[in-house]
Each structure stands twice: as C-alpha cells, then as structure tokens.
Structure 1
Amino acid sequence: MYSEQAPVPGLAGRLVCVWTRVVTSAGVGLVVPDGCVDLVWGPAGPQVAGPDTGPMPVRLSPGDRYTGVRFRPGAVGEALGVPVEALRDQRVPLADLGTLPELAAAPLSPEAVQEALAVRLRALPGPDPAAPAIAGALRTGRSVGQVARELGLSERQLHRRCVRAFGYGPKVLQRVVRFQRALRLARSGLPPAEVALASGYADQSHLSNEVRRLAGVPLGQLVSRP
C-alpha cells in the first residue's frame, strides 16, 4: 500500500511529497528515473536515494515499512551537504553524509522530518532558481543547444548548472523528463504510438527502446505495476 501527502506549505517549493509504503507481499519493486532525490526511512535505516539514470530494483518483504521525503527535481541544493552528482545512482546511509544527524534516527514522523528539514534549509542558500526552467525547456523536446540559447547560456554553462542541480547533464535530464512524460501519458490510457508522438520520440520503437534502457522493462509492464 502506497500513499502520498502534500508537504507542509513552507516546503512546497522544495518537496514533491511525503510518501509512505507498507509492503503486503514479497517481490521486487522497481524504482525508475524521475529526476528526484529522496530521503527514505526503511528496513535498512535512513538512506539517501540519489538521482537515478536507470532502473533500481528493491527487494520487498511483507510488513516492510517505508517513509520518504521526495525533493523536486533540481531542488535538493545543499541540503545534504554533498554535491548531488556524488549521489547519482547511489543509495547512501544518511549517517555517512554527516548532515542532518537529527534525521538519522528512526522512526520519525513525517511532521518531525519536515520540521528538521525546514530548519536546515532556512540556513542554506536556495537551489539554482533556473532549474525548473531548464527542466521545463528540455521537456518540450528542444535540443540542448536551443535550450541553452533560450536561457542565455552557453552549452558548457548549461551542462555545469544541470550537473549541479540535477546530478547529471542536460542530455540525461532530457531523457528522464521525456520518459516521465511518456509514463504519465501511458498511465492515462493513451495508446503507445500516440504517447511516442506526444512525448517527442521519433516513433514507437524509439519510445520502446528508451523505456527499456531507463526502466529495464517494457512500457506495458511498467504501466501495469502498482
């Protein structure tokens, strides 16, 4: 059973949601790239789930409980005390980072987690204010060069800012946001050929190949997962 709740108003600009999951049957869960960074409290203790560039399987056992805080893409900033690119495709114990020691204890209520985060974030510089515009522009399917010119940046500057904000460069970010758009459309019931066209893929085959690379399973199987 999985559920999400909106973050407190003071964190709405930084967090997507606070989520919980209680596992009811054994299996392997699949985490796919979404541009986000999560703090997760689960059976292995508090961990940071960095920005993914491919599928991350998670072995699940009945009765396992998870609570997570999901940062918006590009919004983690300096909250974790390490560059976000150092967390790419990683699951790192929160205690190993040496930051947010008050959150390295479990269990904590979602309210306590958000309160501690809010205190830390108020003491730090904010994330790159251009991050939402970068992700939004790349989501439209325009080339990296076009997006850089639109934002008044060189391609090198755009790459540097993407890595700092998202943990990877603009080409990877574009693949991730396009994939996430395709996934949302597919889950709404749109046929795959129309999903491919609406999401900026060359054709349905291009969509299928990209989904397999990023998620490790076909689109239909991914959509049918709970």
Structure 2
Amino acid sequence: MYEEAPSAAVPGAVLWRVRGNGGAVLPDGCMDLLWVDGRLLVAGPDTGPHPAGEVPGGAFAGIRLAPGTAPALLGVPAHALRDLRVELAELWPAREVRRLAGLVAGHGDPRTGLEALAARRAAEAGPPDPLAAEVVARLRAGEAVAGIAAAVGLGERQLRRRSLDAFGYGPRTLGRILRLRRALALAGAGLPYAEVACTAGYADQAHLAREVRALAGTTLSGYVAGAAGAKRETSEPSGSRTTA
C-alpha cells in the first residue's frame, strides 16, 4: 500500500510511505530521505529503474525532495549519490544520525519526523542553488539546453557542471526524465499513446516507446497496467515513484 501527500513545511517536497517493498522505483529527478525499520537512509537521483527489495525492510517512509533541493540540505553534490541508496551515517557524523533517528522514532508517523528533520536542516543549510528551479521550469517547458544556458547566462559546460551538482546529471538527462514523468502521467490519465507522445514532446510514438523502455525498463502499456492495479488496491493516484 502506497500513500503520499505534499509537505506543508518543505516547499516542493512530498511525504510518502509504503508497506513491503512496493514496486520498481522510476527516475524522477528527485532525492529522498528515507526511514526504513528505524534507519535513516538517502536515495540518490536515479538514471533508470531500481528494483523492489533493493533496500531490505518491511515498512518504508520518506520525504521526496524536489529536483535540485537536496544537495544543500545534505551537504553532498547530487552526482556523488547518483543511483545509490546509502545510510545517512555515511554522509553525516554517526552520533548525530543516531540522535536524529531517535527524534524521528519519537513521532507517531515517521513521515512527520522526516519532514521536521528536513525543514530544520534546510533552514540551517541555507537555500539550494538558485539556478536549479529555473532550469527545471525551462526543461519542463520543453526549452533546448543551449537556449537555457543562454537564458541563465552560462555556457553549456558550466550549466552541465552546475546541473551535476544540483540534480546528479546533466540538463539533457534531466530533461529526458522530466519528459518521461509527464508522459507517464498523461498515459495514466487515459490519453491515447500517440497523443501522449505529441503532448509530452516526443518526435513520435516510437520515440516515446524507446524512452520508456530506456528510462523505466518497461513498456508504456506495462506501466499503465501496473499503475492502474496499484490505484485500485490503494485508492491513491498513480504516478508516484513506485510502480505496481
């Protein structure tokens, strides 16, 4: 059973929980702070699907941090955590992590504890790279990387370096991932696949199919069927990080 809700304390973040291992985790440009059977972990930015059971545990809770916002909070560039799941104690002093784990455990809902931890840490660490939000917005609008670099006053190489630190990968990869998420949401809403391809900015339906296979490790039909099954089971909207 998967549940999620927007955070009221951390802008752009989403609080979620799932019992069991759930399904495969698909790339979305985000990073997560996780609570797994009393342990604090970090899920880095993904470039492809991650299988269920990758992190052992019986119950999972998390706060999904919006693209570009986690590195300042964690004190680690995003590319250092790309495609990884690591104990928070590998990034922060173990004694501090034990203290924080105790605080999270003191909340009836660990999501509330994770939200409080993230909000406090964000206030202490200061704002994320101010470029990140603009880059994400422009990529979601379908702008080309060269045009984005010019608009923000950087060369393409400089933009790539800033993006690696903020998102874990360059702007082209982030753009592909954001476009994929839009396509999956449209398909989950019932749009015909040809219309999904056109609306999300793919050259054609074959291009869409290749990108879904490359980034999500499945077919669009397979994703829609899995998301529909999960929606029936949990009465939650489809389109979360986990698939059925």
The TM-score, its normalising length taken from structure 1, stands at 0.88
Query: Are 1:33 and 2:34 matched, yes or no?
Result: no
Instruction: Give the Å deviation of 1:93.
Output: 1.1
What residue number does 1:6 align with? 6
Aligned letter for 1:164?
Answer: D
Match of 2:19 among 11, 22, 27: 22
Deviation for aligned residue 1:44 = 8.5
CA distance in 2, matches of 1:65, 1:43: 6
For the pair 1:91 / 2:85, whether they are aligned, the reply is yes
Higher helix share: 2
Q: 1:111 Cα shift?
A: 2.3
Paired residues of 1:77 and 1:126 also in contact (CA < 8 A): no
Deviations 1:96-126 (A, max 9, x none): 1125613345645322222222222211121
Where do 1:113-152 residues align within 5 Å? Answer: 113-152=114-153
Q: Deviations over 1:54-107 (max 9, x none)?
A: 1100129xx921111110111113211221110000011112112561334564
In proportion to residue count, which structure has more strand? Answer: 1
Give the aligned partner of residue 216 of structure 1: 217
Equivalent pairs, count = 218
Q: Is the CA contact (8 Å cut-off) linking 1:33 and 1:214 kept in structure 2?
A: yes
Q: Quote the Cα distance in structure 1 between the aligned partners of 2:51 and 2:34.
A: 15
Aligned pairs for 1:34-113 within 5 A: 34-43=28-37, 45-59=39-53, 64-98=58-92, 101=97, 102-105=99-102, 107=105, 109-113=110-114
1:178 matched residue in structure 2? 179
What SS class does the counterpart of residue 53 from structure 2 fall into?
strand
Cα distance in 2 for residues equivalent to 1:28 and 1:129: 34
SS of 2:203's equivalent in the other structure is coil
Gaps of 5+ in 2: 231-244
Q: 1:217/1:43 Cα in 2 relative to 1: closer, same or farther (>3 Å)?
A: farther
Distance, in Å, in 1 between the alignment partners of 2:145 and 2:6 is: 32
Distance in 2 (CA, whole Å) between partners of 1:200 and 1:34 is 17
* RMSD (Å) for aligned C-alpha atoms: 2.1
- Deviation for aligned residue 1:146: 1.4
Summarize the Cα distance change of 1:221–1:43 in structure 2 as closer, same or farther, 3 Å threshold.
Answer: farther
Deviations 1:143-169 (A, max 9, x none): 211121122221122112211211110
On the 8 A contact 1:53/1:89 being kept in 2, the answer is yes
Report Cα offsets for 1:19-59 as digits up to 9, x if no partner. Answer: 11123xxx772100000001112248322110000110012
Residue 203 of structure 1 and its aligned partner are, at CA, apart by: 0.6
Structure 1, unaligned runs of 5 or more: none
Q: Given that residues 15 and 63 in structure 2 are in contact (C-alpha distance below 8 angstroms), is that contact kept between their aligned partners in structure 1?
A: yes
TM-score after normalising by structure 2: 0.82
Asked whether the 8 Å contact 2:2–2:22 carries over to 1, the reply is no
